[in-house]
């Protein structure tokens, strides 16, 4: 059991795993910079940032509420329901959802119209494990909304480049979620939770994760072509490949090692992507 000390804010941030915001945020900011062909306005930047934080907060709270009783039975997550009360989680879910819609409304008409759709998609992921083994791909779709939304925030339209990037994010997230889900193989099988890890087994799931991460890498290259990025962007891609390779080499570590490798390698991937875009578009 983890230590549950700290104030309400600290416990809340642990509940929604706020530190993991670093995974999707760089892809949204990278798409925003490419769409703006440089620095976006401060107003657009701050509104996109607000949308990202509020949407992810709402999604994580909805996930925790849907899985409230399930998490209590899983040894890996049994501590979560002790961080905040269920009533508090519901109130914060409503507030963060409303804040997301308001922030989207302040950007442009299309982002406002699509905001409810985005909420439905990111909430839908949390219930997919009840009826499909493809839940990992729905998680990828939920995070892939971020770069597309950021592109729309800047341009007011959808283009090919953000869709290619979104496809890469889906492959990336589904791949690392498969690796992460291997920790719950015994629990998921016992609880009859639908998961590709349960359906395929650990070995084949890890092979699928490798294929998905290869697809993610290919999508990042294709995004460079679609967005007409320069050589400096492509120079960052070997670092992305190295981080993905490291993630798959450390999949046999103990639980603490898996968590550490999972966070470090995926945070590095997203950070390198953003840095490569910034060097190409801002320098």
Q: Is the pLDDT of residue 2 over 90?
A: no
Residue with tokens 């890498």: 217
CATH number at residue 103: 1.10.357.140
Exposed e or buried b per residue across 57-72, where buried means at least 16 C-beta atoms within 10 angstroms of its C-beta: bbbbbbbbebbeeebe
Q: Per-residue pLDDT tens for 249-272? A: 765 555 555 566 667 788 899 999
Range of the domain at 253: 8-121+130-282
In a domain, 110, yes or no: yes
For residue 189, the Cα-to-chain-centroid distance in whole angstroms is 25
- Taking each helix axis as running N to C, give the angle between helix 237-249 and helix 255-282, from 0 to 180 degrees, rounded to the nearest 10: 170
pLDDT of residue 275: 96
- Three-class DSSP category at 206: helix
Residue with tokens 């983890």: 2
In a domain, 2, yes or no: no
Q: Give the mean pLDDT of 35-57.
A: 95
Structure confidence at residue 198 as a pLDDT band (50, 70, 90) = confident
Q: Is the pLDDT of residue 82 over 70?
A: no
Residue with tokens 């109130």: 91
pLDDT of residue 1: 44
In a domain, 135, yes or no: yes
pLDDT of residue 231: 96
Number of domains comprising the chain? 1
Q: Is the pLDDT of residue 55 over 90?
A: yes
Among 70, 58, 49, CA closest to 15 = 58
Q: Spell out the residues 6+ positions from residue 70 whose beta carbon is closer than 8 angstroms to its own.
A: 191, 193
pTM for this model (two decimals): 0.87
In a domain, 258, yes or no: yes
Question: Could you give the CA distance from residue 148 to residue 111 in angstroms, rounded to a whole number?
Answer: 10
Q: Spell out the residues 6+ positions from residue 127 whose beta carbon is closer than 8 angstroms to its own.
A: 66
8-state DSSP, 78: T
Half-sphere exposure for 149 (CA within 13 Å, toward CB):
36
Q: Per-residue pLDDT tens for 5-38? A: 566 666 666 666 666 666 789 999 999 999 999 9
How is 46-105 classified by DSSP, letter by letter? Answer: HHHHHHHHHHHHHHHHHHHHHTHHHHHHSTTTTTGGGTS-HHHHHHHHHHHHHHHHHHHH
Q: Give the mean pLDDT of 47-63.
A: 92
List the structure tokens of 138.
């729905």
Q: Per-residue pLDDT tens for 92-117? A: 999 999 999 999 999 999 999 999 99
How is 186-237 classified by DSSP, letter by letter? Answer: HHHHHHT---HHHHH-HHHHHHHHHHHHHHHHHHHHHHHHHTT--HHHHHTH
In a domain, 3, yes or no: no
Question: Could you give the CA distance from residue 146 to residue 121 in angstroms, rounded to a whole number?
Answer: 12
Question: Could you give the CA distance from residue 180 to residue 251 in angstroms, rounded to a whole number?
Answer: 9
Q: Is the pLDDT of residue 239 over 90?
A: yes
In a domain, 270, yes or no: yes
Q: Is the pLDDT of residue 175 over 60?
A: yes
Q: Which of the residue ranges 29-43, 110-124, 168-182, 267-281 would you say has the lowest mean pLDDT?
A: 168-182
In a domain, 195, yes or no: yes
Half-sphere exposure for 221 (CA within 13 Å, toward CB):
10
């Amino acid at each position: 059991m983890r230590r549950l000390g700290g104030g309400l804010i600290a416990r809340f941030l642990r509940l929604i795993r706020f530190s993991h915001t670093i995974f999707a945020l760089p892809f949204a900011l990278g798409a925003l910079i490419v769409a703006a062909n440089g620095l976006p306005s401060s107003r657009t930047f701050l509104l996109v940032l607000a949308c990202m934080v509020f949407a992810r907060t709402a999604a994580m709270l909805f996930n925790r509420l849907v899985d409230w009783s399930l998490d209590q039975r899983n040894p890996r997550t049994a501590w979560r329901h002790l961080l905040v009360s269920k009533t508090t989680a519901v109130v914060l879910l409503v507030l963060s959802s409303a804040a997301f819609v308001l922030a989207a409304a302040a950007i442009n008409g299309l982002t406002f119209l699509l905001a409810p759709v985005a909420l439905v998609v990111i909430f839908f992921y949390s219930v997919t494990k009840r009826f499909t083994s493809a839940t990992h791909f729905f998680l990828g779709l939920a995070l892939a909304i971020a770069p597309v939304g950021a592109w729309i925030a800047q341009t007011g339209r959808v283009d090919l480049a953000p869709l290619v990037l979104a496809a890469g994010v889906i492959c990336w997230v589904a791949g690392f979620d498969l690796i992460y889900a291997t920790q719950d193989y015994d629990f998921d099988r016992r609880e009859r939770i639908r998961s590709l890890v349960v359906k395929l087994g650990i070995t084949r799931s890890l092979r699928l994760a490798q294929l998905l991460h290869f697809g993610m890498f290919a999508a990042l290259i294709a995004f460079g072509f679609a967005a007409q990025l320069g050589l400096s962007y492509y120079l960052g891609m070997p670092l992305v490949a190295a981080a993905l390779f490291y993630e798959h080499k450390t999949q046999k570590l103990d639980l603490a090692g898996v968590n550490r490798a999972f966070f470090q390698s995926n945070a590095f991937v997203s950070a390198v992507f953003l840095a490569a875009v910034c060097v190409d578009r801002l320098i």
